[in-house]
Amino acid sequence: MSRELEGRVAAVTGAASGIGLASSEAMLAAGARVVMIDRDAAALARLRERHGDGVIPVVIDLLDAADCATLLPRVLDAAGRLDIFHANAGSYLGGDLVDLRSDAIDRMLHLNVNVVIKNVRDVLPHMIERGSGDIIVTSSLAAHYPTPWEPVYASSKWAIDCFVQTTRRQVFKHGIRVGAISPGPVVTALIADWPADKLKQARESGSLLEPVEVANVILFMLTRPRGMTIRDVVMLPTNFDL
């Protein structure tokens, strides 16, 4: 792989597993140093041991407001700059709306929407001052397709997709690109909450993506010429509609 991100610093939330891990590893392979942000300290330590000095582990509980607010200062303290921010951390809540607990709804909406908005707001001044930057937000096919088994999750992604598009139009004049990656179902812990029959059907029909496939598209978005913004990518398994 060519080292197209050589010399750049990236930060990824939810970096210890799933799409966040695959994204981090793709950027490491492309030459970036990656600040891997997660609340799982043990997993981050193992990843630092596996990948070496290119990994900068930062343990943050994004659901804790005070801890969440330390993201940019800790990135800058550890790496000195920030060129790429991948707002990836999120959670999943599926099922019939009438069966969902209020505290579970609050937690998911806070992580999927509020935390993303606050993290992006916090990194923007640094990028604006430098006159350059890339922000990628993990959205979902659910932002574009009204899936009836996940009304709250889908609503969070519709909201964040609007946030990505409106923020992009505010900050492109500062040399900052903002885009969303919207994959269909990916083999991660998030889909463990899917209805059992839906998950079984998806596995048997080949209707799931692998995290590395999403990471490869993220790398494509990041390595386009600066005069080009990949605004959003919707990607899904070819067999999704079976």
CATH code where residue 129 lies: 3.40.50.720
Instruction: Write the pLDDT tens digit of every residue in 152-202.
Output: 999 999 999 999 999 999 999 999 999 999 998 887 666 666 667 776 777
Instruction: Write the pLDDT tens digit of every residue in 19-77.
Output: 999 999 999 999 999 999 999 999 999 999 999 999 999 999 999 999 999 999 999 99
In a domain, 214, yes or no: yes
* Structural domain harbouring 166: 9-234
In a domain, 240, yes or no: no
In a domain, 180, yes or no: yes
In a domain, 113, yes or no: yes
In a domain, 77, yes or no: yes
In a domain, 22, yes or no: yes
In a domain, 128, yes or no: yes
92 flagged as catalytic: no
Residue 238 CA to its chain's centroid (Å)? 22
Domain count of the chain?
A: 1
Find all residues with CB under 8 Å of 200, minimum gap 6, and list them: none
Instruction: Give me the pLDDT at residue 82, please.
Output: 98
In a domain, 239, yes or no: no
Active-site residue, from 85, 92, 153, 194:
153
